[in-house]
Amino acid sequence: MKRAEISARAIGPSGPRQAGFSLIEVFVTVAILAAVTLSSILVAVPVSRQTRLSREMELANAEVRRVVERIESMPFSTITSSYPQYSEYTIAGLKDGKIAVSYADPAADPLQVQVTLTWTSPDLGSMTRTFTTARTQ
């Protein structure tokens, strides 16, 4: 290209044009990026909270399931001696996590076993779940 053609291209209808972005273009770009970033953060926070709650619930249910399965699989005569009335067991993975085992009537047949799970959730506060199973001779 000739030098005259290059000069003609650089000069627009309003005079010579500088290379780069204008201040308005930079502000619009920053505003768009800020909006996208803020939207992503606003979506990520509830998703991470729900994931944490799901992990808590999964751990709690697994621990209760473990106790209930042990009670259901052991001989009937050893249930009340292995799990005495109002006995409590701690759960290491949950804050203030405890499992309490109780019976409506320890001498009854069928034996109705109530397993109560309590823990403190950082997001929801005090949590309690009660599970019931029955055993017969």
Rounded to whole angstroms, the Cα distance separating 103 from 81 reads 12
Q: Across-strand partners of 118?
A: 98, 128
The domain ranges of the chain are 22-135
Asked whether the whole model's pTM tops 0.75, one would answer: no
Q: Which two tokens stand for residue 107?
A: 């001498």
Rounded to whole angstroms, the Cα distance separating 133 from 75 reads 15
Using DSSP, state whether 108 is helix, strand or coil.
coil
Rounded to whole angstroms, the Cα distance separating 137 from 125 reads 40
- Strands annotated E in 27-104: 87-91, 97-103
29-79 confidence digits (pLDDT tens): 999 999 999 998 888 888 888 888 898 889 888 999 999 999 989 998 899
